[in-house]
Structure 1
Amino acid sequence: MTGTDTRQNDDTRIAADPALPTIVISREFAAAPERVFRAYTDPDLLIQWLGPRRLTMRIDAYDARRGGSYRYVHRADDGTEFAFHGVFHDVRPAERIVQTFTYEGSPDEVSLETMVFEDLGGRTLVTTTSLMSSFEARDGMLASGMEGGVRDGHERLDELLRGTPAAAEHRRIAGVFTERVRAVPEGGWDAPAPCEGWVARDVVRHLVEWFPEFLKSGAGIALPKGPSVDDDPVGAWTVHSEAVQALLDDPATAGKTLSNPHIGDIPLDTAVDQFYTADVFMHTWDLSRATGQDEVLDPEKCRQLLTGMEPIDEVLRGSGQYGPKVAVPADADVQTRLLAFIGRQP
């Protein structure tokens, strides 16, 4: 790329072409073009990343289609507002956006922005070219401090696309459970499980049945249904687990809330992490014990759960979700103490 490159110590590249009154901005994101494009065109996602962190954002209109228009306002803590508007000339899903851009503080200055989304095989390079009316207007834009806002917004978008800690934790915990599910030996699905009256198949049944109802009643979200656990426990678990992961990977999930009469209102991703992913982790031991597989759990996760559960012992016990605690030596390892706390015979 020719011209002055104002790249700093991050992944955003900003360049001014000496031959044309343009600003070219590029950055790679660790997500497929479809996800990145959606973050650029879905107002529920756009509001979570566009612009500097120090400003809040209000979207008055955002119709991302050819002939559609947009208007949004950034607001500083002192009440100062910065409004922008434009018209979409071309919108090609996961490929290209062409729009005008006007800062209402300088209403006579209109630039033409072209955003190209390039598939890098699981990553996306977004290149935005802003064509302005003159070199003076271009240089004035660069001098206005726009670079800091662009870099800040890109960092926020990168965080949004990479997902929440809850998404990463579910991927890790559910991944181990999936390994156990796939390794159940022939005839093993009817082997007795540590939970009274359960067989191995019922461990999967429990997870794929209670959570969808919890999610639907509390957040109005319906997960896709897989085959019957009786007919195909591996298939049932796979469809369910992938659906939960997709929910957590969706950037929109971070802005949603789950409401439950027992726990109140709680961010959706937090609710999944605390109530469901933790359940998957503990039931990994049940399935492993029932089917003769590796029973060792992550000790740090065991410690985290036990630390959070011990102070609310009576509440948990009263819920009926756990049986009576099992007595174990005081110097028992943390996995043994966690299993004993939830009523399992280690």
Structure 2
Amino acid sequence: MTTTDHDNPGTDHDTGRRETRITADPAQPTIVITREFDAPPSHVFRAYTDPDLVVQWLGPRRLTMHIDRYDARTGGSYRYVHTADDGTAYGFRGVFHEVRPSTRIVQTFGYDGSPDNVSLETTAFLDLGGRRTRVTTTSLMQSVQARDAMLASGMDRGVREGHERLDELLARDAAPRTPADEHRRIARTFTDRVRGVPPTAWDNPAPCEGWVARDVVRHLVEWFPAFLKSGAGVDLPAGPSADDDPVAAWTVHSDAVQALLDDPETATRTLANPHIGEVPLDQAVDRFYTADVFLHTWDLARATGQDETLDAAKCAELLDGMLPLDEVLRASGQYGPRTQVPDDADVQTRLLAFIGRAP
């Protein structure tokens, strides 16, 4: 196949893996964009699907990005606007036809200024090992003429600069997160699920035997304050009960935990417990509470018919930490028997099966 390579002239091919390659087959209405990143697929995928991360890298530096919506799940949609310093705005929108965690995204792409020209983009994430990922995006356009117009618009410059920004974001992401950062990220997703529960769904059955949806919130807002009080002498502000107002109960509780973690003094304190000994307070929150919030996000979503997708990187982290403790965790009575799933199941399915859920 003959291709036209729109790479930068003079590329140093010893570092070519860090260059963005843009190719176009003269006979086909396609553009293929390839780039390798120094991060595992789960991290790169998250940067493509988490709106808090997307806004930090997508597009050239000279434009400011505002996201109206970015629901990166199968059947979801997106719209965002890039704005120049002179106020000129460029709006883009599309639909996510397929979102397969850490593997593949299929979406449409359209520009508000040319609503009749819509392309279909397929982005694949290939694990190269050694915490490296090759991302290949193939854009199928309506005609070769539309493809050539896109190339002539200067899109290659914006794509390359966006990839450079993504490199920088992934380098920051590789740095260890603080317990405060991790709680803020994970609690935000749980908060979204809490606020998304229809008023009539709070008494829907939940995956934990004998629980309904409001019991998922009840569990988190009741066990953790007692754990902090007995182990570290910390009193968290109490909100309303989960029976009276589960949304307010969670919001008051979550804000209080975040305030505790954001307090610099917390990192200097310890929590003592007869089962775990003495642990730095912020690490105890991260290991025993934030992880619990993450796992129960799936329970609440399943009970109330919401998006059940969990962060694949966090799933892998928890599963790697739990597998060596299989017998200990099972003996604690907090997890049911493992359920059976195929060997090639994705990491979220394997984690849920490990803790006894039936995904």
2:249 is equivalent to residue 233 of structure 1? no
Give the match's secondary structure for 1:225: coil
Letter in 1 for 2:180: A
Give the match's secondary structure for 2:337: coil
Hey, what does 1:186 align to over in structure 2? 199
Cα distance, 1:189 vs. partner? 0.2
Give the distance between the partners of 1:327 and 1:281, measured in 2 at CA.
Answer: 22
Q: Percent identity?
A: 76
Letter in 2 for 1:279: D
Hey, what does 2:266 align to over in structure 1? 253
Structure 2 length normalisation: TM-score?
Answer: 0.51
Give the distance between the partners of 1:203 and 1:283, measured in 2 at CA.
Answer: 7
Hey, what does 1:280 align to over in structure 2? 293
Letter in 1 for 2:354: F
Give the distance between the partners of 2:294 and 2:330, measured in 1 at CA.
Answer: 19
Contact 1:164 1:248 in 2 (8 A): no
Q: How many residues align?
A: 184
Match of 1:169 among 167, 182, 186: 182
Q: How does 1:27-106 map to 2 (within 5 A)?
A: none
Partner deviation per Cα, 1:151-207 (whole Å, 9 max, x = no partner): xxxxxxxxxxxx970000000000000000001012010001000110000000000
Match of 1:203 among 216, 227, 232: 216
Partner deviation per Cα, 1:244-296 (whole Å, 9 max, x = no partner): 00000000001000000000000000000000000000000000000000000
Gaps in structure 2 of 5+ consecutive residues = 1-175
Partner deviation per Cα, 1:57-84 (whole Å, 9 max, x = no partner): xxxxxxxxxxxxxxxxxxxxxxxxxxxx
Give the distance between the partners of 1:215 and 1:322, measured in 2 at CA.
Answer: 22
Cα distance, 1:237 vs. partner? 0.3
Give the distance between the partners of 1:221 and 1:321, measured in 2 at CA.
Answer: 24
Structure of greater Rg: 1
Give the distance between the partners of 2:285 and 2:303, measured in 1 at CA.
Answer: 26
Hey, what does 2:357 align to over in structure 1? 344
Give the distance between the partners of 1:319 and 1:222, measured in 2 at CA.
Answer: 26
Q: CA RMSD in A?
A: 1.1
Give the distance between the partners of 1:219 and 1:186, measured in 2 at CA.
Answer: 36
Match of 2:278 among 251, 265, 269: 265
Partner deviation per Cα, 1:4-54 (whole Å, 9 max, x = no partner): xxxxxxxxxxxxxxxxxxxxxxxxxxxxxxxxxxxxxxxxxxxxxxxxxxx
Match of 1:316 among 312, 322, 329: 329
2:239 is equivalent to residue 243 of structure 1? no
Hey, what does 1:221 align to over in structure 2? 234
Structure 1 length normalisation: TM-score?
Answer: 0.53
Give the distance between the partners of 2:356 and 2:255, measured in 1 at CA.
Answer: 29
Letter in 2 for 1:319: S
Give the match's secondary structure for 2:336: coil
Give the distance between the partners of 1:255 and 1:164, measured in 2 at CA.
Answer: 17
Task: List 4+ stretches of structure 1 deviating above 6 A.
Answer: none
Gaps in structure 1 of 5+ consecutive residues = 1-162
Give the distance between the partners of 1:312 and 1:196, measured in 2 at CA.
Answer: 23
Hey, what does 2:313 align to over in structure 1? 300
Cα distance, 1:310 vs. partner? 0.4
Partner deviation per Cα, 1:133-152 (whole Å, 9 max, x = no partner): xxxxxxxxxxxxxxxxxxxx
Give the match's secondary structure for 2:224: helix
Give the distance between the partners of 1:317 and 1:213, measured in 2 at CA.
Answer: 23
Letter in 2 for 1:270: Q
Give the distance between the partners of 1:264 and 1:331, measured in 2 at CA.
Answer: 37
Contact 1:223 1:243 in 2 (8 A): yes
